[in-house]
Amino acid sequence: MTPSCPLSPDADRPRSSECTTSLGAPEVEPSEVAPRFAGVTRVRQTVLLIDLVESVRLMAAYESETVQRWCEFVEWVPRHVARVGGGQVVKSLGDGLLLIFDSACTAWHVARALHERLAKMQAWVTDAQRMWLRAGLHSDWVYRHALDVFGSTPNLAARLASLAGAGDTVCTDEVWREVQHLPDIEAEDWGPCWLKHLTQPVQVYRLRPVQAWRVESPRPALPPPDHTALCPLIALVSDTIAVPTGDGGLLADWLLHGLSERLARVEGLRVMDALSSGLAGLGRAIDPSEALLRLQADAVLRLSGRVQSGRLTLELEWWSRPLVAGNFSVVVQYPLADVFQPASELMGQVSDQVVRQLLRRTGYACAGVPLHNLGSHALMLAGIDAQHGAQRDRFVQARAYFEELVRRHPRLSTPRAWLSQWHVLSITRGLSALTPALVQEASLQVKQALSHQPDHPLSWAAQAFVQCHLERNPERAHDSVMEALRLAPSQAMAWMYRATIESLLGRTADAYAAGLRAIELAPLGPLRYYPCCLAGHAALFDGRTLEAVRWLEESMALNPSHSPTVRMLVVAYHDLGQWDAARCALVVLRRLEPELTVQTYLARSAGALAQRSRFADAMAAVGLPRS
């Protein structure tokens, strides 16, 4: 998993919400410096080059349809650029466009709009005929002529576009420094990349909107309850720990996971899942005010520090909105070896000081650290990303990652909990058959996890998952998930599983409320699609069809290969009478699960037979075979 790239060294300089360069004319090189060419001006601008992916194949196989949609799209682009202002379409490249802008921020917004426009034009186009754009952005000096632009800047933008994948926008460090402060953008750091005909590598970033652009429905606002001031929603974020050798970012994320697990046990707090706020989700070195906005948290606890002469100096800064106590900081120093101990004095002191300053009480139990070393922590993150990622072929690899962690740390509970969840998901996604051997393996892992650590909340949640889906016992599953929440009221996975369990027990309103709480606790990271999916399921059980579609569409945009999401989308579209949408969703479902029938669906479904039968009938009405 590639984390969001760090901010530049001048990131703490005050900035407005928009690029200042967009408010004036482009910077023109002084005449005494610029080369003198007739009719040519040298100016600093941002070049956007977009290219149609696989244009040769599309023209050969679907010439008339491709030409028609491409011409419609190309006619729309200049009108949109004129409405936005600050830019110009320089020329058409046949299967691409070259645009220039006074501001990198404007160029990014236009690039994003071009991707969105092309997607809307092809809502139900088959995968084989679908057109995708790839875009490259670079800011530097260009030679402006009445008919064209010249220089190394447009050439580099073209090289970047060739590096991008379908639907991607990639940029250089010059562009990222200008746009990184925008609230609706994040980036993956691709590192130095070698491009054709360039003698030195170029630092490249893949830009993407914070919210998946394929989701058109607005994100619902969760109204804060009356007791928010007494039960703040806290996110832990990390800066890089300065380490002479090794990965300080990974150490910071490891500390974040350990402190998050401890603070999640405090009944008076709501603590976001560490996968949302750490390396796997938000990234590192993020400004606390931006983290408050993006995570919709009441407060942010930011970790930073340094390792020197074998000792770790750790500082935690508390940033909050007005409704929570004012800002404060906690600074501690301990030998580095201490933090890797299950009973770490540093971890205990930090948790104690934070809770004392917030709640004036210390009602939490001592929790074990996530894993014994940073290499294992990195392997765990890789396994979670593979298990919950959008690529189905990587799902199989996740099992090997978790089994390796179990081999390395046979007495730790976390790897066994994740491994048992992998077995359940392999059933619900239709990748494995429900056999007694598989049930026994998953059940054995959670039992061993709880025998090693009886008060481990994630293991109790994993046991509930096994009892619900494999042992077909939602009543026992409910007892287990409530024990997980008693131990850690902010355990995100427990809230996710509770949404399903309450639905199967007929308490549909409680199920939907649990789904919303899970979304609140896991707003980013590799798990985001999963609470959206389960909230959509719960909404369908509760008769909230429109809300179900909203959550399921967001889940599908985040993870198109998650077949349980697509199954319920077929049902939701059917219930709304959107037959074309339902049939298109069924096509996707049959591609993900070729062997799926009504009979196999009912055979692997647990509880709530009346509702499950209704869902099966809806899928059959759309076209799913009965057997």
pLDDT digits (tens, 9 = 90+) for 241-291: 888 777 777 888 888 888 888 888 877 678 888 888 777 777 766 677 777
Let me know if residue 287 belongs to a domain: yes
- Cβ(28)–Cβ(142) below 8 Å: no
Residue found under tokens 């998050």: 260
Question: Are 256 and 303 within one domain?
Answer: yes
Question: According to the model, what pLDDT value does residue 455 have?
Answer: 80
The mean per-residue pLDDT over the stretch 385-396 comes to 79
Does the structure show a pLDDT above 50 at 2? no
Which contiguous run of DSSP H or E holds residue 293?
helix 288-295
- For residue 114, name the pLDDT band (cuts at 50, 70, 90): very high
Question: Are 102 and 184 within one domain?
Answer: yes
Question: Are 41 and 127 within one domain?
Answer: yes
Question: Are 181 and 196 within one domain?
Answer: yes
Question: Are 50 and 188 within one domain?
Answer: yes
**Opening angle at CA 603, ends 602 and 609, nearest 5:** 45
Residue of 315 and 212 predicted with greater confidence = 315
Range of the domain at 132: 20-209
Question: Are 472 and 562 within one domain?
Answer: no
Query: Residue 520: which region, alpha, beta or left (left: phi > 0; alpha: psi -120 to 50)?
Result: alpha
- Per DSSP, the residues of 481-543 read HHHHHHH-TT-HHHHHHHHHHHHHTT-HHHHHHHHHHHHHH--SSTTTHHHHHHHHHHHHHTT
HSE-up of residue 68 (Cα within 13 Å, Cβ side): 8
Tell me the C-alpha distance between 440 and 260, whole Å. Answer: 31
> Looking at the 3D structure of the chain, how many domains does it have?
4
Does the structure show a pLDDT above 80 at 342? no
CATH code for position 255: 3.40.50.10070
Q: What's the distance, CA 510 to chain centroid?
A: 26
Residue found under tokens 């930073």: 304
Let me know if residue 6 belongs to a domain: no
The helix/strand/coil state of 563 is: helix
Question: Are 179 and 34 within one domain?
Answer: yes
Question: Are 265 and 195 within one domain?
Answer: no
Question: According to the model, what pLDDT value does residue 300 have?
Answer: 82
Question: According to the model, what pLDDT value does residue 362 have?
Answer: 29
